[in-house]
Amino acid sequence: MDSSVKKNVTITDIAAHANVSKSTVSRVLNDTTPVNEDKRAAVLAAMKEMNFEPNIFARGLASGQSYTIGVVTQNLGSPFYDSIAQGVIAGLAKTAYSPLFADAQWQPEVGKAAVKTLIGRMVDGLIIVGTCPTPDDLEELNQNIPMLLVGTQVKQWPDRCMFIDNEQAAFEATQHLIELGHKKISHITGVPTHEDSIGRVKGYRRALKEANIDVDEDLIYEGNFDGESGVAGVETLLKRKKSFTAIFAANDATAFGARLALYRQGIRVPEDVSIVGFDDQTEAALVTPPLTTIQQPGDEIGIAAAETLLKIINKQEPEIQKLTAKLVVRDSTCPPSSGV
Amino acid sequence: MDSSVKKNVTITDIAAHANVSKSTVSRVLNDTTPVNEDKRAAVLAAMKEMNFEPNIFARGLASGQSYTIGVVTQNLGSPFYDSIAQGVIAGLAKTAYSPLFADAQWQPEVGKAAVKTLIGRMVDGLIIVGTCPTPDDLEELNQNIPMLLVGTQVKQWPDRCMFIDNEQAAFEATQHLIELGHKKISHITGVPTHEDSIGRVKGYRRALKEANIDVDEDLIYEGNFDGESGVAGVETLLKRKKSFTAIFAANDATAFGARLALYRQGIRVPEDVSIVGFDDQTEAALVTPPLTTIQQPGDEIGIAAAETLLKIINKQEPEIQKLTAKLVVRDSTCPPSSGV
DNA sequence: CAAAAAAGTGCAACCGGTTTCACTTTTTGC
DNA sequence: GCAAAAAGTGAAACCGGTTGCACTTTTTTG
């Protein structure tokens, strides 16, 4: 019945149609060797007329290139990682490359498997966001495949890491609270072993130190970047009966959780307690009160990562851009009153 | 210098090592033809020993299969689409297939291009979430590639569409408000042309009708699924000076926006105005007050979609599961008092 | 103007699998 | 116990591109 099964057009068809050899068609396709203008035109015309699309498998098999970039994120749906993914999409949009996303689901083994799958899929390069596999794993997996680590700082590969200065951003977030007059500032951390977390804690501590405020370890709660840990953090702080007038949360989700726990206790934000988050995810501007937070330029990071990786692939000199986060002041912070 | 460039192991190597022919190795690999147990064991051993991974290009070129499923979403980072994506990942996890994600960025042309790219990448099947290209476009693009539409209802392909009953879910959301005693219930819609939106408006109207409440067109505001449109919706409603005691928002983002606008006016939620959202995105449980909303089983949808598509690919009888959303009651709804 | 360099082109090998076909060996059925 | 069916196997063609090589033609150079 179905006589309409279109046989795919191949370069052999194009070659026949344009009266040249396969090689010439391939050369037109790849610009590897000069081709006479007449023939080039004929080939191009034939390709257009016959609606030719090169077979990616044949191409990949012969050339070893897939024109695919693997992107591993901790979690595609997390707002910050999504914005990076969007950036990568944008950065690759005008090129011959497509991104292939994989999700590490916050689990190192899953991340490792994801990298393996991507390598199996012959990606030409890898963008790993948020250090899912350990550096050792990467070393092991590294089949000399161009690789860029985003949001991590691995000492071994200084020129393969692209990250924002978490320490500095956290410093500014904390300083903002200090400048408003806060002295009893709590910090709810992210996953304690996570690079980003560690940097943010450092920045928090440094800001206090520079303002000659003693760091009270009881005001630091170890969270895990989840909303729930924000809730638990505030509950614990309240249980400790330490008074505080402000909270610096390791990310927005944590800030939301903290805000909710305060709400349940009837503690007002920002009148009683100010909150600063980190990420500036979409909802940060919509919650009540709109959240003061650190804006990470996720899309810019993504674009820069894509461009840098392409340079590495093409053996050009990559230049790692240092990207900076900035404080966005909204309504969740104000000068302290009594505190709790 | 670099003498460590590992030549990839091919089936020819395995064949030599196991003293069989390439064909036999391929047969072991694909289970297409019975192979003697001894040889099978030898081949398997050789594969393990030499750490063999089949070259996906060669395989694809020869067999025409890519073992890749293309997934097009409106926006990877949107909470609901992300949960579907996660579901697809989970549904494909134990199979030989990997997902290849593309982002339509809410733009039909981008979606169309994305589908084209995916087809160019020789995906074995396509999951299109949220009807990005029009059915006509799909018809045009449809190179007889197995395809599943999620979250859409296209009359032409009843057995290729998987969707939740938006109308029924919206009915229940509205009914919840009615049961609490609300009569002046506003609705802020999503993108008016969007299937999901249309269904939700229908459900809203039906619930009112069945409760013998006249639908007041002035209480319906045309939004676009954005937080901003929630803000604008409430501002407009207030400007219209129509009183209302509850809002049914087309999705959670809209609900957040509505809640923010009310907050700015000093209108309390839920005491003065109750709000119901739609999606149950992560933040819904974290905002203040935690949002009553419709929970869409995104991950289940994703898993079901993956499984169904695989069936279609393998020419098995697909059964389209009807998935249902359910109301999650939190703290943003309560019986009406005065209203505004 | 001759020699050298560059442009232009096709043939054929190759990338690493899958699959048809022909053929041999083992099982099954009666 | 013999014919027919099923199992088991390898050689070789094939999938659709890329690329090294040999060769011809044109352009550049001194």
| B46 plus B96 within the same structural domain | no
| B233 plus B275 within the same structural domain | yes
Contact A56 B290 (CB under 8 A): no
Q: What percent of chain A shows pLDDT beyond 90?
A: 64
Q: Model confidence at A139, in pLDDT bands (50, 70, 90)?
A: low
Which of B61, B79, B288 minimises the CB distance to A259?
B288
Q: Is a pLDDT exceeding 80 seen at residue B175?
A: yes
Closest CA to the C1' of C26: that residue is: B36
Q: Model confidence at B194, in pLDDT bands (50, 70, 90)?
A: confident
CA dihedral of B191, B173, B278, B246, whole degrees rounded to 10: 80
Q: Is a pLDDT exceeding 90 seen at residue B276?
A: yes
Residue B327 counted as domain residue: no
Residue B36 counted as domain residue: yes
| B91 plus B154 within the same structural domain | yes
| B262 plus B179 within the same structural domain | yes
Q: What angle do CA A218, A260, B221 make, to 5 degrees?
A: 155
Number of domains comprising chain B: 3
| A176 plus A258 within the same structural domain | yes
Q: Is a pLDDT exceeding 70 seen at residue A338?
A: no
Q: Is a pLDDT exceeding 50 seen at residue B319?
A: yes
Cα A318 versus chain centre, distance: 19
Which amino acid is residue B158, in one-letter code? P
Residue A49 counted as domain residue: yes
Q: Coil, helix or strand for B279? A: strand
Contact A286 B79 (CB under 8 A): no
**Token couple for B77:** 């980072």
CA separation (Å) from B45 to B12, B28, B52, B53?
15, 11, 10, 13
C-beta within 7 A of nucleic chain D, residues 17-76 of A: 22-23, 25-27, 29-30, 32, 52, 54-55, 58-59, 61-63
The per-residue pLDDT for range A147-202, each reduced to its tens digit, is: 998 887 777 788 888 888 999 999 999 999 999 999 999 999 999 988 889 999 99
Give residue for tokens 């800030």: A255
Contact B57 A256 (CB under 8 A): no
Which of A82, A85, A103 minimises the CB distance to B89?
A103
The per-residue pLDDT for range A16-71, each reduced to its tens digit, is: 999 999 999 999 999 999 999 999 999 999 999 999 999 999 999 999 999 899 99
The per-residue pLDDT for range B67-116, each reduced to its tens digit, is: 899 999 887 777 788 888 889 988 998 888 888 888 888 788 888 888 88
Tell me the shortest Cα–Cα distance from B212 to chain A, in angstroms: 34
Residue A6 counted as domain residue: no
| B48 plus B129 within the same structural domain | no
| B72 plus B175 within the same structural domain | no
Of A8-22, B180-194, B311-325, minimum mean pLDDT range: B311-325
Residue B59 counted as domain residue: no
For B37, list phi and psi in degrees, rounded to 5.
-60, -40
| A247 plus A302 within the same structural domain | no
**Which domain CATH number covers A120?**
3.40.50.2300
Residue A140 counted as domain residue: yes
Q: Which domain does B204 fall in, by range?
A: 166-297
| A173 plus A274 within the same structural domain | yes
Q: Coil, helix or strand for A147? A: strand
| B222 plus B267 within the same structural domain | yes
From B163, B179, B196, the end of a domain falls on B163
For A246, list phi and psi in degrees, rounded to 5.
-155, 155
pLDDT at position B141: 61
Contact A227 B285 (CB under 8 A): yes
Q: Coil, helix or strand for A68? A: strand
For chain B, the helix, strand and coil percentages under 3-state DSSP, each to the nearest 5: 45, 15, 40
State yes or no: cis peptide before A192, omega within 30 of 0: no
Write down the mean pLDDT value for chain A: 90
CA separation (Å) from A155 to A135, A193, A267, B303?
10, 16, 44, 40
| B179 plus B272 within the same structural domain | yes
Residue B318 counted as domain residue: no
Question: Where does residue A168 fall: left (phi above 0), alpha (psi -120 to 50 degrees), or beta otherwise?
Answer: alpha
| B177 plus B271 within the same structural domain | yes
Residue B335 counted as domain residue: no
**Closest-CA residue in chain A for B117?**
A98
The pLDDT of A242-271, averaged and rounded, is 97
